[in-house]
């Protein structure tokens, strides 16, 4: 069986611009060679990576039960 020419996407260099203006070059299948990807969210600002506080809803007391069972555990923190 012959290999299709379109089997693999085009993998090329693009410029990524972080929310703080930091730029770097990387290889990607996004756009075409030389395109710029401007990020709206990135690891430097998003709470998922920065440890920002989220407010969790306690529906049916599940969060309270979890915290009472496991709230005193430490995971590698001293």
64 in a structural domain? no
26 in a structural domain? yes
Q: CATH number, domain at 19? A: 4.10.80
pLDDT tens, the chain, 78 aa long: 556 666 788 899 999 999 889 999 999 999 999 999 998 888 777 777 777 665 666 677 787 888 888 887 776 655
Instruction: Identify any residues that bridge with 12 across adjacent strands, giving them in sequence order.
Output: 28
Looking at the 3D structure of the chain, how many domains does it have? 1
60 in a structural domain? no
56 in a structural domain? no
31 in a structural domain? yes
């Amino acid at each position: 069986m012959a290999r299709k020419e379109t089997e693999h996407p085009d993998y090329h260099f693009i410029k990524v611009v972080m929310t703080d203006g930091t730029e770097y070059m990387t290889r990607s299948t996004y756009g075409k060679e030389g395109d710029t990807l401007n990020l709206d969210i990135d690891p430097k600002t998003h709470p998922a990576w920065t440890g920002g506080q989220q407010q969790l809803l306690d529906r049916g007391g599940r969060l309270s039960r979890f915290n009472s069972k496991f709230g005193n555990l430490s995971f590698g923190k001293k």
